[in-house]
Amino acid sequence: MIEFTLNGKAQKVEADADMPLLWVLRDVLGMTGTKYGCGMAMCGACTIHIDGQPIRSCTTPLSAAKGKAVSTIEGLSDDVSHPVQEAWREHNVPQCGYCQSGQIMSAVALLNSNPQPDDAAIDEYMQGNLCRCGTYPRIKAAIKSAADKLGRKA
């Protein structure tokens, strides 16, 4: 039995400690917002946070979550009102949308560590998240917009 907090709620999961956290989230706990992309931690579609740090859940074992706070896209807000989610909509970021939960989770982590990133900081931080549709200019614009929104809320 492995215990952790998921989006603010205590969880007890009985599964193999080596099972990828992605599959625990999706198949055991029903958190399907986190997507499977490459299975090798190279595309970023499966990005979630453990104790506030972005990780690739496809290669992270369940055991890594023991006693920690895990956050998924579902945990950002109850009504899709997180400033990053709002900025994503305002800038029409998604095309196919498949990579977007991972993109958003990485953008949130970036803004938590760097509230006003410049273009170079955004490019460097987001380089591990691939978008097959090529919406990178819109992603960058949305991150800047979200930074402004978060700055105004502070």
Convert the pLDDT of each residue in 48-100 to its tens digit: 999 999 999 999 999 999 999 999 999 999 899 999 999 999 999 998 889 99
Rounded Cα distance, 21 and 148, in Å:
33
Give the separation between CA 122 and CA 108, rounded to whole angstroms. Answer: 11
Burial bucket for residue 25 (CB in 10 Å: 0-12, 13-18, 19+): buried
The structure's pTM equals 0.94
Residue 36, φ and ψ in degrees, nearest 5 = -85, 130
Give residue 151's pLDDT. Answer: 84
- 43 touches 99 (CB < 8 A): yes
- What domains lie within the chain, and their CATH numbers? 2-73 (3.10.20.30), 83-153 (1.10.150.120)
